[in-house]
Amino acid sequence: MIDSKDLDPNFKYEVAAEIGGANINRCFACGTCTVGCPVREIDEKYNPRKIIRMVLLGMRERVLKSDFIWLCSTCYTCYDHCPQDVQLTSIMTALKNIAAREGYIHPSFKEQARLVSKFGRLYEVEDFDNKKREKFGLPPIKKNFDDITKITKDTLPKEVLQ
Ligand code: SF4
Ligand code: SF4
């Protein structure tokens, strides 16, 4: 159920002002994006057209708190197929950026950012990995990347690295 008191009519303008969000008002709800979306094939609840409608209706809090905006795999299929050049992939990024600024960051993304900050990659290199490399005459992989840790500490919001 939608309660009009919970709607923010300025949300679409806020998204349009964000980098990548400028074309959101062009959407005429044809559903081409949803039909071609590979994430939708795996999870039928995922519906990019619906996310755009929710933004246009002003359902700010529900959109920004939704796990769905983090499910987009940034494959650009909808971007290429959209007859209105809405640039939905960029809008998803814009929504994630607004959500992140407001502290709504999906836990899996926080974890990925923490790992990259700590190890310079998405998994920790173990001695086992380097021993395997040694066997093949390959040089060891560094376990930590202090320069990446410094960059992420200076650029990522603190709540991401907690
Ligand atoms: S394909 Fe484009 S115009 Fe059609 S619903 Fe998706 S975003 Fe809107
Ligand atoms: S960019 Fe995101 S929303 Fe668009 S088709 Fe790919 S996964 Fe689906």
CA 142 to the chain's CA centroid: 28
Q: Best substitution site from 82, 89, 92 to test ligand 1's pocket, by max atoms within 8 Å of Cβ?
A: 82
Residue type, 44: E
Nearest protein CA to atom 8 of ligand 2, as residue: 37
Residues 86 and 143 in one domain: no
**% of residues, the chain, pLDDT over 90:** 65
Looking from the CA of 50 toward its CB, the CA atoms found within 13 Å total 13
Task: Give the model confidence (pLDDT) of 79-132 as tens digits.
Answer: 999 999 999 999 999 999 999 889 898 988 888 888 888 888 888 888 999 999
- Please indicate, yes or no, whether residues 86 and 56 belong to a single structural domain of this protein: yes
pLDDT of 64 higher than 70:
yes
Query: Model-level pTM greater than 0.75?
Result: yes
Which of 75, 101, 127 is the endpoint of a domain?
101
CA distance 90 to 161: 25
Percent pLDDT > 70 in the chain is: 98
Q: Is 39 in the same domain as 90?
A: yes
Nearest CA, atom 6, ligand 1: 33
Which residue among 40, 86, 89 has the greatest number of ligand 2 atoms within 8 angstroms of its CB, and so is best to mutate?
Answer: 89
pLDDT at 150: 87
Look at residues 56, 86, 101 and tell me which one is the last residue of a structural domain: 101
